[in-house]
Structure 1
Amino acid sequence: MSDLPLLILGGSYAGLLAAARLRRKVPKARILLIADQGHFQQRVRWHEALAGRRVKRAALAPLLARAGVEFLQARISAWDPAARQVEVQTLQGPRIIAYRGLICALGSVSQGSQLPGAEYLWQLSFDQPLAARHAELQQLAARGGRLLVIGNGLTGVECASELAQRFRGLQVSLLGSQEPLRGFCREAREHAERRLRQLQVTLLRGRVRCLQADAAQLEDGRLLSADRLLWCGGLRANPLLLESGLPLTPEGRLRVGADLRVEGYDHLWAAGDCSAATLTDGQLLRLSCATALPSGGHAGEAMGDWLQGRQPQPFAFAYMLRCLSLGRGDGIWQLTDARDRAQSRWLGGWRAALIKWMLCTLVWVAPRWELSLGRAIYHWPRTVLDKESI
């Protein structure tokens, strides 16, 4: 058993920081990271790539090799936790890999794929060609075409503002079932709405029932016509987990204990969007890179403690802020309490845009530097919630 590798499934924020922290804990162990993509990409900046801006990416194989971590680009087709093995599809064919311990950091997928007519959606995902989408948006803008952005949370607001600023002739509408940016204070929301209207983004309210090639049918019967439909309406855990037989929440996320170990399994941990990690008061963490990095780092450290016969520490995390961009040169920085509730302190304009850029840079360089240097560079807030904050 000791000759078998320690597996990490997923090569994004959580998986990479898990690999870095696990390597620091167990310098001589064999670690194998499996991902279906060959590059680490900045998912939080895909809206910029859609607008035609260059977004950096890093090849996973040489990045992981600096830390002595093996990499296999493959699609996971089956997972048998009881037998401690996964089946993967590589370019050379199927392969079964047995493991000693595993960290699941498979991330999330778009909820839009569950809607009737989902084949008509544009989505911010690995398998959609953003460069080709950018070229088509240029053509749409040249003839005054219409783009409907579905979902008015952080991603939707960022996409609508970025694309409206970049493609001046494009008619951009932003659709949501509730008011935009509900997790922000009133003044910050008003700032965002002013900015969106300044960019001539039309704000719409409604919930999508089904999709057509050139329209979205709403639950109230309205039909919203558009040349292209862009889904920004939320994420769900990787559907592979549904077939694993592991304990899941109703949202499809892996149930975990205080140290992020999967319930009922002493050798499995879950991190990032596929983990039902909570704050110390039991509040479920939202899907984001802000929680993926801390949970990935903790899972790597916890597995390292387990391998060395030590009791892993409970996962401790607290929210501090939220940030988003509103095109180039504007944004919002929102202070929150430890439970992610908006406080009255916020910033807008270029200062907030600069903070957002700095945070995007941090989540890009932190896992890469830790793998290269073998040192813990990224530190997350670990405030313990008291009774007054609950």
Structure 2
Amino acid sequence: MKEATKEATRILVVGGGYVGMYAALHLQRKLRKGEAEVLVVSPDPYMTYQPFLPEAAAGSISPRHVVVPLRSVLKGCRLLVGEVSALDHAARTATVRTAATEEAGASALTVPYDELVIAPGSVSRTLPIPGLAEHGIGFKTVEEAIGLRNHVLEQLDIASSTRDPEVRDAALTFVFVGGGYAGVEALAELEDMARYAARYYHNIDQDDLRFILVEATGRILPEVGEEMGRYAVRELRGRNIDVRLDTRLDSCENRVVVLSDGSRHPARTLVWTAGVKPHPLLAATDLPLNARGRLKCRPDLRVEGVDHAWSAGDAAAVPDLTAHEPGVECAPNAQHAVRQAKVLAGNVLCSLRGHSLMDYRHKYVGSVASLGLHKGVAYLYGQKLKGYPAWFLHRAYHLSRVPTFNRKARVLAEWTLAGLFKREIVSLGSLENPRAEFELAAGTGRHPEAG
């Protein structure tokens, strides 16, 4: 075991998501002075609490309250905002690209380390479907949530300002692909918001809006159980949402969505939430991967077959010791990631100090999901809930899990105010290109609105 010397052991944490942030947080609390240095490399200076993205998209929560600034939380760690492009664990070095190196045209940084915590998370899993790359909208980041909100409200503006029935129908058709948490919750929240917003358009009726949920399997929200999944389908269909099970997206070229059941739907909105895949960084390492591209890990969260490398969360294939059958792995979800991060940090400390390690063991207790304002489903400890109680439990659970007291207080305040006042339905599409007006004015030599 490596002991602390005058030059402290460097623990490199790759990723600032659930595992990266929580592992670094536990390490900074437990490390003795001078025992080790924790360096966190993250492409963003914040951690995104993804369960709140649907509410951020619907305007129930301010986007800035969905993210947790790493610099203020990890005061005892060093933060380097950049992208790890390659890892040579045999040499204990990481190759890091930052905005400064790219702007200056300089070579990437080579960062040495002693202990590696690799948790880059996952990226959207896309398929080679014609038109998807050109017209699809993802839903994994706060930027995508803001962009989707603006886009939906802009479609109402387009529909309100045209007499062309084809353009109008396409603008008012919203297709979501993927019946997991992200797809169902995003659709439910945005459907609530859009139908509320429609009352402010004199020539758009709520019934003019068309929402379609496309799921390749025979059920949605598998995490909440089969019975609650069927209830969710009935609830959505009762709101005039077209739920299509056992159906795939075949193409979306020229803004026409073609499904495997043969139906065609002109639509200007296609939201893709059909799963995730391991981060591409994992393939650029010399660490062992399983058939799905995730890191092979031991129950104590060490990467299998190597020393001084640890992983958890989406990037790791961790054996589920609570499963009744051998070979079962922990699901790559937030519930496991947060708990794994704590065990991982403790084991890194034990390794540095020569103590025995602890295996990760946590039985999955269930799931909660929102189906829009005051509607939800839940399956916890064998108990099934639906409607308002499930929605309330969904909010209470995630409020308890969002990091820092500051964020908890701000989110609770926003929910309280949202219950007292009307929704905000303004679209700020200019946020996505804030220099557009200035560039136009500079190019013409006068303000674009000048006569």
In 2, Cα distance between the equivalents of 1:306 and 1:292? 20
Name the SS for the 2:291 alignment partner: coil
Query: Which digits, 9 at most, give the CA deviation of each residue in 1:13-45, with x for residues without a partner?
Result: 111111122234423321111100111221112
Counterpart mapping for 1:35-50 below 5 A: 35-50=42-57
Q: Which has the larger radius of gyration?
A: 2
In 1, Cα distance between the equivalents of 2:74 and 2:48? 14
Q: Which residue is 1:22 aligned to?
A: 27
Counterpart mapping for 1:194-343 below 5 A: 194-205=234-245, 206-219=247-260, 222-280=263-321, 281=323, 282-335=327-380, 343=382
Q: Which residue is 1:72 aligned to?
A: 80
Normalised by the length of structure 2, the TM-score is: 0.75
Normalised by the length of structure 1, the TM-score is: 0.86
In 1, Cα distance between the equivalents of 2:228 and 2:144? 33
Unaligned runs of 5+ in 2: 102-107, 160-168, 196-205, 408-451
Larger CA deviation: 74-83 vs 203-212? 203-212
- Of residues 183, 191, 194, the one that matches 1:156 is 183
AA paired with 1:261? R
Distance 1:298 1:49, change over 3 A: same
AA paired with 1:107? G
Distance 1:243 1:216, change over 3 A: farther
State the shift of 1:293 in Å.
0.3
In 2, Cα distance between the equivalents of 1:186 and 1:266? 42
Cα pair 2:19 2:119 within 8 Å, conserved: yes
Larger CA deviation: 17-26 vs 40-49? 17-26
Cα pair 1:117 1:210 within 8 Å, conserved: yes
Give the strand-richer structure, 1 or 2: 1
State the shift of 1:213 in Å.
4.5
Give the helix-richer structure, 1 or 2: 2
State the shift of 1:148 in Å.
0.6
Identity of aligned residues (%): 27
Number of equivalent positions: 360
State the shift of 1:203 in Å.
0.7
In 1, Cα distance between the equivalents of 2:128 and 2:304? 27
Cα pair 2:256 2:264 within 8 Å, conserved: yes
Q: Which residue is 1:138 aligned to?
A: 153
Cα pair 2:139 2:182 within 8 Å, conserved: no
Root-mean-square deviation (CA), in Å? 2.2
- Of residues 178, 184, 191, the one that matches 2:224 is 184
Distance 1:191 1:141, change over 3 A: farther
Name the SS for the 1:180 alignment partner: coil
Cα pair 2:248 2:259 within 8 Å, conserved: yes
Cα pair 2:23 2:344 within 8 Å, conserved: yes
Distance 1:127 1:213, change over 3 A: farther
